[in-house]
C-alpha cells in the first residue's frame, strides 16, 4: 500500500502548477473583460504565467515520453507532477526563460529533466523523448493561434487577441530554437542516437555551451533578421499578422 501511495503522489499535479494555472486563468479573464485598470499589467501576468505553464508542459512531455520508453525513475524525481521546482536546473528551465521573455520577448528554450538514458532501449525512443518538448511548443502555438486560422476572432477583445499573438510568437521561437541540431538543444538530442560513438564523444564537451552560442548568434543583425523573418512567416501561415504580435509585446512591456 505504501508503494502504491508513493507512486500515486509522484504523479499528482503539483499545487504550484495549479497556482500558476489559476493566475493564468484570472489574468486571462481580466484581459478579456478589460477588468484591469491597466491592461498591460493583466497582459504581462497572463503571458508570463501561460509561458511558465508551457515550460512545465514541455518538460512534462520529455518525462512522460521517457517513462513510457523505459525510464521509470522520472516519477520518483517529481517530473510527472508538473512542478517547476522539481527540475534538475530550475534556473535554466524557468528563471532564464522568464528573464529573457521580460527583457527581449523571445521564447528561450529551457531544459532540465534528467533522463536515465541507460534504461531506454532503441534509438527511435531516444529521439522521440527529445522531440517531445518542441512538439509541445508546436501544439501550444496551434492552440494560441486557433482563433486566427479558424477565422473565429469576432467578439475577441483586441488586448486578448494581441496577448495570444505574442504568446504564439514565444511558442514558435521556442520550437524553432529548440529544434536546431545544436549540442545541448533538443534538436541535437533527436539526431544524437543516430551518430557514431566517435562523433558523440567529440561533440559532448560543447553541449553546455550550445544554447549560449545560439543566443550569441542572434545578436548578429543578419542572423537576427533571418530568424525573425522565419518566425514571422510561420505566424503568417497560422493567420497571425506580425503587427498583432508586436502590439502584444508592447502591451506586455507596460513599463
Tell me which residue of 38, 88, 39 sits closest to 59, measured CA to CA: 88
Report d(CA 145, CA 147) in Å as an integer: 6
Count of alpha carbons within 13 angstroms of residue 236, beta-carbon side? 8
Rg, C-alpha atoms of the chain: 19
Report d(CA 160, CA 184) in Å as an integer: 35
| DSSP assignments along 170-198, one per residue | HHHHHHHHHTS--TTSHHHHHHGGGS-HH
Report d(CA 240, CA 243) in Å as an integer: 9
Tell me which residue of 232, 239, 233 sits closest to 146, measured CA to CA: 239
Report d(CA 176, CA 223) in Å as an integer: 14
Report d(CA 138, CA 159) in Å as an integer: 23
Q: Is 59 in the active site?
A: yes
Instruction: Kindly state the greatest CA–CA separation across the chain.
Output: 60
Q: Please pick, among 59, 159, 192, 244, the residue that the annotation labels catalytic.
A: 59
Cell of residue 87, nine digits? 527540475
Which residues are annotated as catalytic?
Answer: 59
Amino acid at each position: 500500500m505504501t508503494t502504491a501511495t508513493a507512486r500515486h503522489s509522484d504523479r499528482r499535479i503539483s499545487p504550484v502548477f495549479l497556482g500558476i494555472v489559476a493566475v493564468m486563468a484570472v489574468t486571462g479573464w481580466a484581459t478579456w473583460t478589460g477588468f484591469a485598470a491597466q491592461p498591460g499589467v493583466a497582459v504581462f501576468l497572463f503571458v508570463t504565467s501561460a509561458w511558465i505553464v508551457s515550460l512545465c508542459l514541455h518538460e512534462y512531455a520529455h518525462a512522460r515520453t521517457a517513462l513510457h520508453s523505459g525510464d521509470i525513475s522520472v516519477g520518483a524525481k517529481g517530473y510527472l507532477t508538473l512542478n517547476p521546482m522539481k527540475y534538475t536546473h530550475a534556473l535554466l528551465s524557468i528563471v532564464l526563460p522568464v528573464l529573457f521573455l521580460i527583457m527581449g520577448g523571445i521564447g528561450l528554450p529551457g531544459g532540465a529533466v534528467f533522463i536515465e538514458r541507460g534504461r531506454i532501449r532503441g534509438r527511435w525512443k531516444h529521439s522521440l523523448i527529445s522531440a517531445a518538448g518542441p512538439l509541445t511548443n508546436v501544439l501550444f502555438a496551434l492552440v494560441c493561434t486557433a482563433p486566427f486560422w479558424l477565422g473565429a476572432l469576432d467578439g475577441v477583445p483586441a488586448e486578448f487577441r494581441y496577448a495570444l499573438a505574442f504568446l504564439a510568437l514565444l511558442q514558435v521561437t521556442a520550437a524553432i530554437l529548440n529544434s536546431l541540431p545544436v549540442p545541448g538543444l533538443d534538436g541535437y538530442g533527436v539526431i544524437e542516437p543516430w551518430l557514431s560513438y566517435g562523433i558523440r564523444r567529440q561533440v559532448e564537451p560543447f553541449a553546455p555551451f550550445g544554447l549560449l552560442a545560439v543566443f550569441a548568434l542572434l545578436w548578429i543583425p543578419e542572423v537576427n533578421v533571418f530568424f525573425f523573418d522565419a518566425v514571422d512567416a510561420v505566424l503568417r501561415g497560422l493567420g497571425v499578422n506580425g503587427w498583432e504580435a508586436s502590439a502584444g509585446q508592447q502591451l506586455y512591456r507596460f513599463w
